[in-house]
Amino acid sequence: MPAQVKKKTAFFCQNCGYESAKWMGQCPSCHEWNTFVEEPKAPALSPGLGSKKQRPGNRTRPVRLAEISMESNERILTGMGELDRVLGGGIIKGSLVLIGGDPGIGKSTLLLQACRNIAAMGKSVLYISGEESLQQIKMRAQRIGEVSDSLLLMCETDLGAIQEVIEEQKPDVCVIDSIQTMFSENVASAPGSVSQVRESTGILLMLAKGLGVSIFIVGHVTKDGSVAGPRVLEHMVDTVLYFEGDRHASYRILRAVKNRFGSTNEIGVFEMRGDGLTEVPNPSEYMLSGKPEGASGSIVACSIEGSRPVLIEIQALVCRSNFGLPRRTAAGTDYNRVNLLMAVLEKRCGMELGSYDAYVNIAGGIRMNEPAVDLGILLAIVSSRKDMPIRDDTMAFGEVGLSGEVRAVSQADTRVAEAGKLGFKNVILPKSNMVSCKMIKGIRLIPVSTIKEAISAACS
């Protein structure tokens, strides 16, 4: 009887990389359905990280903290202020940055523009694409304008070849577009599978750290689970950025979800134009453009995104329901939060809302989940229900509690200052925030401690 052959394959969740001996309908780790695919198991010692053969540079040895020079931490600026900010002030030498996002959102465009700027500053840049031909990249480059000669392009999907080129060229910055198209011969499964994506990232990690090359990895976010998503890699890289936005709207938001070299939750705002991405240095102005004047159900609120305040318009439409069960929708904010705020209104202000449909929308398609926008949502609903417009130069922020109280939020003075910058005259804010708020010339601060006070201040 032959000795029992050890099973060489396992099932991997294509969303989070969870490994299981059997197929499962739902992943116990990330709870996604139908994401398991059978793949050959990775070799016990991942060659990317383990074997001597592939390790570039010298062997490492332990050092004292005092011996470490900080020079290597100087940052390369990308020439795009918004991207630099999200990265924490530029690209760190030898860092591995993952940029995730839906296909077609503009990841390749963003990176090509950054590469162009870095190359123009005299740094060596290598852009490796596994998705597009050189002609396609050239076409894109022509759309975004002048590209310096020192930008090197390559179309390759074999990581062995890529590794050789990077070791030979030692560029300052290298882009891998995208990780799902790369494959390493060490792993037998198809490109895009969890083991391939992990193995490839392992090799890139080693190259980045060993040679001091800053590497950007592009990762597509996919819903269907046929391609391993960037979540599989989040723990391996230094920085994870997500590029998001409504595909039909032209603005895009770059968000840091992990950053070993800077703060997370910082956002960068861009606008996709015919000639590439343009930075939006003042997002508030951008978000408020097109705000209707004198319309009921609309108010401006303020949310802090990272270190910046962003003013947004909240719209509500409340109308009599034709069916027994009223319809409620919330776009850009939490649905349950909207329901809760409406319940607070009914109970604490005696406002009849049970037979009314309510549609709440954050204009511009941006998502805002900070509790500070509560008061804005509530006032927009009241304004629409009473059909009374709120003055255009009024801004409101504050968290609403279940007893109908308006609670303090953080960084009130930053929010008031932003309102002042954009020409708002009245700011409705929680009374308990008044202590930390400096008076700004031309702005009337209206402190409120309950929603009743807020409503009479806004809609009267």
Residue 5 DSSP label: P
Nearest-approach distance from CB 140 to ligand TYD, in angstroms:
5
395 and 374 in contact (C-beta within 8 Å)?
Answer: no
Residue placing its CB nearer to ligand TYD in the complex, 216 or 397: 216
If the CB atoms of residues 108 and 163 are measured against Mg ion, the closer one turns out to be 108
| Structural contact between residues 337 and 377, judged by C-beta atoms closer than 8 angstroms | yes
Query: Which member of 15, 78, 108, 195 binds Mg ion (CB under 5 A)?
Result: 108
Q: How far is the CB of 118 from ligand TYD (least distance, A)?
A: 17
Judging by beta carbons within 10 Å of its beta carbon (0-12, 13-18, 19+), is residue 10 exposed, middle or buried?
middle
Binding to ligand TYD by residue 130, rule CB under 6 A?
Answer: no
Strands (E), 274-393: 276-279, 298-305, 308-320, 328-331, 356-362
Name residue, tokens 């705002």. Answer: 269
Query: What phi-psi label fits residue 104: left (phi over 0), alpha (psi between -120 and 50 degrees) or beta?
Result: left
Shorter beta-carbon distance to ligand TYD: residue 95 or 108: 108
* Most distant CA atoms of the chain, gap in Å: 91
Smallest gap, in angstroms, from Cβ of residue 31 to ligand TYD? Answer: 26
Tell me which of 41, 55, 140, 291 binds ligand TYD, using CB under 6 A: 140
Binding-site string for ligand TYD from residue 367 to residue 406, where x marks contact by CB under 6 A and - marks none:
----------------------------------------
Joined tokens for residue 193: 């599978």
Closest distance to ligand TYD from the beta carbon of 353 (Å): 41
* Residues contacting ligand TYD: total by CB under 6 A: 15
Comparison of 68 and 139: residue with beta carbon closer to ligand TYD: 139
Give which of Mg ion, ligand TYD, none residue 31 binds (C-beta under 5 to 8 Å, depending on kind).
Answer: none
Residue of the chain from 76, 105, 353, 448 that contacts ligand TYD (CB under 6 A): 105
Q: Measured between alpha carbons, how far is 65 from 81 in angstroms, rounded to an integer?
A: 32
Other beta carbons within 10 angstroms of residue 140's beta carbon come to 17
The residue from 25, 62, 122, 274 that contacts ligand TYD (CB under 6 A) is 274
Q: Are 78 and 216 in contact (CB under 8 A)?
A: no
Q: Which of 35, 78, 108, 239 binds ligand TYD (CB under 6 A)?
A: 108
Nearest to residue 219, comparing CAs of 178, 260, 174?
A: 178
Which CB, 126 or 363, lies closer to Mg ion?
Answer: 126
Q: Is 209 exposed, middle or buried (0-12, 13-18, 19+ CB in 10 A)?
A: middle
Vertex 341, ends 335 and 345: CA angle to 5°?
A: 145
How far, in Å, CA of 34 to CA of 39, rounded?
15
Which residue stretch of 106-114, 119-127, 245-253, 352-360 sits at the interface with Mg ion (rule: CB under 5 A)?
Answer: 106-114
Binding window for ligand TYD (CB under 6 A); candidates: 42-50, 105-113, 376-384, 429-437: 105-113
Nearer to Mg ion, 152 or 331 (CB): 152
Backbone angles phi, psi at 268, to 5 degrees: -125, 135
Q: Please provide the DSSP assignment of 371-394 as one string.
A: GGGHHHHHHHHHHHHHT-PPPTTE
Nearer to ligand TYD, 272 or 342 (CB): 272
| Closest residue to Mg ion in the complex (CB) | 108
Q: State yes or no: residue 191 binds ligand TYD (CB under 6 A).
A: no
- Our finding on whether 46 is near Mg ion (CB under 5 A) is no
122: contact with ligand TYD by CB under 6 A:
no
Distance (Å, whole) CA 197 – CA 204: 11
Which of 17, 48, 90, 101 binds ligand TYD (CB under 6 A)? It is 101
Give the footprint of Mg ion on this chain (CB under 5 A): 108
Give the footprint of ligand TYD on this chain (CB under 6 A): 101, 103-109, 140, 143-144, 272, 274-276
